[in-house]
Structure 1
Amino acid sequence: MQSSMTCVRLMKQHSSRLPALLRLSPRPVTTQIGSRRDYASLHRDQAYIGGAWVSGNDGNTYPVINPANGVEIGRIPDLGVAETEDAIKAAYQAFQVWRETTAKERSDICRKMFNLMMTNQEELAKIITAENGKPLAEAMGEITYGASFFEWFAEEGKRCYGDIVPTMTKSKRMLHMKQPVGVAAMITPWNFPNAMITRKLGAALAAGCTAVIKPAEDTPLSALALAAIAEEAGVPPGVVNVVTCSRSNVSQVGKHLCKSPLVAKISFTGSTAVGKILLEQSASTVKRASMELGGNAPFIVFDSASVDDAVAGAIASKFRGNGQTCVCANRLLVQDGVYDEFCGKLRDKISQLVVGDGMQPGVTQGPLINDRAAEKVEKHVNDAVSKGAQLIIGGKRHQLGRSFFEPTLLTDVPKDALVCSEETFGPLAPVIRFTTEEEALIMANSTDSGLASYFYSNDIGQIWRVAEKLEFGIVGINEGLVSSEAGAFTGIKQSGLGTEGSKYGINEYLDIKYACFGGI
């Protein structure tokens, strides 16, 4: 069996074929990953291409800003099409060798990635809090969640079984085998800057694919820290590449990833509008595509529900990540019989949330990612109130700064309010009253989005009916937190294509080849 060290040597033998930029770029001096230390030791201010830490051809950089205080925490290379092409070529060349490694060898490396992430959990979490703003406790949870995908796919990669199919002809044998698709381009968001990479990368590496990662322009440091972890884990040069760029270059970089004939697969997490553009651009090369797009999650509370459980679930679902998650509850639909009790208890829980800098102990709600995000929450609040909604608590920017917004509760929200048709992505809980189960289902399903949904009920017949009739890829039943490496993360309608996580997620990075043997 070819060892992991042999794999690394083979990759180095192929390095002569890499672009000159990659061969000549020096690696920084790094300390041994694994000891307890400040996150600065995992801080990287260069992109990662072909196993080298590189700056852009023109030397341009852009700032990474801490949303809690507006302080610049780093300057990152602002790369363009030329450097993106370098990364694609490095990944394509690396794939020729990486695809030949055994599932066990790839599993060992994924397991090392998991171990190194957990060893460095606090340092990685501090990077998330610094560039994203979420409370450190939440960031620690994200690292646990993100690392779980390397652990999960370390095992799933060894179980990518093919089939021998019975034939109708004695002289033939039919075989189906699974093989890696090739270079996978991954465009990831800022709200989970670690886990939205690992959920894709774990599956890709385990399947035998190589990757070009384009992290969100607001949160590139987490992606670069992962590249440092991958390097320490023994991932061969070119297998993992990270291309960083500012908002001004993101369109051309994304387009090049989509149109490159060397890229076999595009995986994107982000808005539906951007996902449609990427799908259109990928059509020219008929790429494999998986898209995890926008949501508009209903959170339904029926009369038979435990109100206390429903309130706890609403807080967990709505206010985790300050409401900046694709699966967070966007519309809270509550039946007449428990409406007043639910709203009162939800108000009490919201009043206990603590807004502040995510690095400070006890803080539960950090800043929004930027001022534009706060403007959208403000817009949704003002629109709903102008149409008759009642403002119960919150409703305005927090005194800490323009990116901070008070956790907000609106009741008696009308069905024509913007918050009912648009994803808020902020700490706003709008409560809408309904009378019958049928009415709740009509309201819940009246959206083009079909990612996550939630409902609370203790009526077993109702549970079956509603779970089957909700038009969403994910359904939380008496549960506000549904994400797990073992669960299929998938959207329907305009919330996306394909599946991430679970035993199904690795199939997004595998082709099925049919071989027919004759003359037997």
Structure 2
Amino acid sequence: MPEVTTVDPATGQVLATYPAAGVDEVLTVLAGVHAAQPAWAARPVEERAELVRAIGAQLRKESAELAALMTAEMGKPIGEARAEVEKSATACDFYAEYGPAFLAARPVDTGGHQRSWVAQEPIGVVLAVMPWNFPFWQVLRFAAPTLLAGNTAVLKHSPNVTGCALAIERVLRDAGLPADVLRSVVVAEDDVPEVSRVLIEDDRVAAVSLTGSERAGAAVAAAAGRAVKKSLLELGGSDPFVVLADADVELAVAGAVRSRFLNSGQSCLAAKRFVVHADVAEEFTARFTEAVRELQVGDPRDEATQVGPLARADLREGLERQVHESVAAGARVLTGGAPLAGPGAFFAPTVVTDVTLDMPVLAEETFGPVAAVVVVADDDEAVRLADGTRYGLGASVWSADPGHALAVGRRITSGALFVNAVVASDVRLPFGGTKRSGYGRELGEAGALEFTNARTYVVGGGVPTGPATE
């Protein structure tokens, strides 16, 4: 029987081993989730909302234990882990409070004696394929609105956070949701492509949501396209952080450090490419590099730690390759630049400069504590470099004049633009990407409606007498 083993990335020690499900077992789980959906959808939306609110309360009740589990499985600094649990609970609160209004039927005046309205109705079972870097937030931001709408879900989480996946299912059950409203399936890494394909092709699955790599997204989108099913993709990002000539450098540096090194640099919406005007480049680079040198790297269970390990050893190896190849091509390391000695998947917080668009630290997504600084002569060059990527998730622009920053930012393709602020997801605002960062929207009202059928209803007042049209 295949197994999934979780490993503490801070020590390299095995945490737990779980039996993995084969295709037949996964389809049995799907059958239960599919059978549960009509009864769940038949509950009044207000009742579903109170159960979603109860999930938030349960998350808060178990915050310490859930945060510790997250830290053990993927190395997230413990303070950030607690904040992630709280943010997940906040998503439940938001959708419990505002979701019923988002989902309410909307009357439309179509004239005559007929009544017309548009209802947002559940579509059925949604498959959620989720990543390891925010193991609670990325599931709950999907689950809260999707389940509230009356859908049920099968969760295929990343194998290295299997404990978190099973904990999420249990938290929902302990909050009072029926057992089959959301089920986690544990799948061995080698079996993920085949199991995902089988699930997407199954008629009982109505749609799929994936947060993950570009490669995984392309495979899921292709399978969903062949099955003519809706898909939502939230993929990679290589977000630009643009510092204009009139920016407050001290403020920009503080934002740069926070944006790049949150979650040890393992975030799709983290700033990764720092595009800095020549007038402030020397000051920004010096201050930024010094601030990065001062970051506390260490045991993620220590409250003082700001940067923990990467989630897996292979991720550290990939990051080392990107830096090494960029340096070989002419990039210059200002601090860091290599793995740290000792156990665990630690990589030194790194700043590189003298980079060009063809180097891996700019051309590829760097998923770890590495920042690349590029100096530009004017706004036009800043836009060209900021937009010179196949990704388009977020962008931030820094200037003493917000109007100036907005004018520059509007010329950069992205799903979100932040001015003098760090790009972050907010449950009140829609979130998603452009270009190869994906499509579809989570969070906000858009997230509440993403997996619903906007169904048109017309009740006529008599026999129509006009000409027939489509």
| Other-structure match for 1:165 | 108
Q: 1:18-62, CA deviations, whole angstroms, 9 ceiling, x for partnerless residues?
A: xxxxxxxxxxxxxxxxxxxxxxxxxxxxxxxxxxxxxxxx5x422
Contact 2:159 2:188 in 1 (8 A): yes
- The residue aligned with 1:110 is 52
Structure 1 residue corresponding to 2:136, chosen from 194, 212, 226? 194
Pick which of 157-166 and 286-295 moved more. Answer: 157-166
Asked whether 1:182 is paired with 2:182, we answer no
2:76 maps to 134
The residue aligned with 1:379 is 321
The equivalences for 1:106-505 within 5 A come to 106-159=48-101, 160-168=103-111, 170-401=112-343, 403-505=345-447
CA deviation map 1:390-410 (0-9, x unaligned):
211111110133611100111
Counterpart secondary structure, 1:504: helix
Q: Letter of the aligned partner of 1:379 in structure 2? A: R
- How far the C-alpha of 1:386 sits from its partner, in A, is 1.7
One-letter amino acid of the structure 2 residue matched with residue 69 of structure 1? T
Distance 1:400 1:507 in 2: 48
Task: Report the Cα distance in structure 2 between the residues aligned to 1:77 and 1:477, rounded to whole angstroms.
Answer: 47
SS at 1:249's partner residue?
helix
Return closer, same or farther for 1:361/1:173 CA change in 2, 3 Å cut-off. closer
- Equivalent residue for 2:467? none
- Counterpart of 2:8 in structure 1: which amino acid? N
- 3-state SS of paired residue (1:192): coil
Q: Distance in 1 between matches of 2:16 and 2:47?
A: 35
Report the RMSD for the aligned CA atoms in angstroms: 1.3
Are the equivalent residues in 1 in contact too, given 2:12–2:344 (CA < 8 A)?
no
Deviation at 1:178, TM superposition (A): 1.3
Instruction: Give matches, 1:508-519, under 5 Å.
Output: 508-519=450-461
Distance of 1:167 and 1:69 partners within structure 2: 65
For the residues of structure 2 that align with 1:316 and 1:483, how far apart are their CA atoms?
14
Residues in 2 aligned to 1:267 and 1:151: alpha-carbon distance in whole angstroms: 22
AA paired with 2:293? S
Paired residue secondary structure (2:160): coil
Aligned to 1:66: 8
Measure, in 1, the Cα distance between the counterparts of 2:93 and 2:117. Answer: 30
Equivalent position SS for 1:512? strand
Is contact 2:21-2:187 (8 Å) kept? yes
Note the C-alpha offset of 1:188. 0.2
Mapped partners of 1:487, 1:514: distance in 2: 26
Where structure 2 has 5 or more consecutive residues not aligned to the other structure, the ranges are 463-470
Q: How many residues align?
A: 461
Conserved 8 A contact 1:184-1:267: yes
Q: Give me the whole-angstrom Cα distance separating, in 1, the residues matched to 2:185 and 2:41.
A: 22
The answer to whether the 8 A contact 1:356-1:400 is kept is: no
How far the C-alpha of 1:224 sits from its partner, in A, is 1.0
Instruction: Return the TM-score normalized by structure 2.
Output: 0.95
Determine if contact 2:396/2:409 at 8 Å carries over to the other structure.
Answer: no
Structure 1 residue runs of 4 or more that deviate by more than 6 Å after TM superposition: none
Deviation (angstroms), 1:428: 0.7
**Can you list the C-alpha shifts for 1:370-420, whole angstroms capped at 9, x where unaligned?**
121111221121122222222111111101336111001112222321111
Residue 171 of structure 1 deviates from its aligned partner by 4.1
C-alpha contact 1:178 1:510 (8 A) present in aligned 2: yes
State TM-score, norm by structure 1: 0.86
Matches for 1:6-25 after TM superposition, within 5 Å: none
Distance 1:77 1:502 in 2: 37
SS at match of 2:298: coil
Cα-to-partner distance string for 1:75-130 (whole Å, 9 max, x where unaligned):
12211211111121111100010010011111111111001101111111000000
Q: Secondary structure at the match of 2:410?
A: helix
Cα separation, 2, equivalents of 1:304 and 1:334: 11
Query: How far did residue 481 of structure 1 move?
Result: 4.3
Opposite residue 212 of structure 1, the aligned amino acid is: V
Q: Distance in 1 between matches of 2:409 and 2:272?
A: 18
Alpha-carbon distance in structure 1 between the residues aligned to 2:255 and 2:87: 19
Paired residues of 1:80 and 1:252 also in contact (CA < 8 A)? no
Q: Distance in 1 between matches of 2:344 and 2:172?
A: 36
Verify the 8 A CA contact 2:10 2:345 in the aligned structure 1: yes
> Could you tell me which amino acid in structure 2 is paired with residue 435 of structure 1?
A
Shift of 1:423: 0.1
- Displacement of 1:163: 2.2
C-alpha distance after superposition, 1:328-374 (max 9, x if no partner): 11111111011010111111111111111211231111111112111
> How far apart, in 2, do the equivalents of 1:385 and 1:322 lie?
22
More moved, 372-381 vs 207-216 = 372-381
Alpha carbons 2:156, 2:185 under 8 Å: kept: yes
Q: Please tell me whether the aligned partners of residues 272 and 371 of structure 2 are also in contact (alpha carbons under 8 angstroms).
A: yes
Report if the CA contact (8 A) 1:313-1:481 is conserved. Answer: no
CA separation of 1:216 and 1:268: change in aligned 2, threshold 3 A = same
CA distance in structure 2 between the partners assigned to 1:462 and 1:224 by the alignment: 48
Deviations 1:453-501 (A, max 9, x none): 1111112331221232220001121112422111211111121111111
Q: Shift of residue 518 of structure 1?
A: 2.0
Aligned partners of 1:203 and 1:505 also within 8 Å: yes
CA contact (8 A) 1:153 1:202 kept: yes
What's the CA shift string for 1:287-329, capped at 9, x where partnerless? 1211101111111111111111111111111001111100011
* 1:157-203 C-alpha deviation (Å, 9 max, x unpaired): 211122222224x2433221111111011000000111110010001
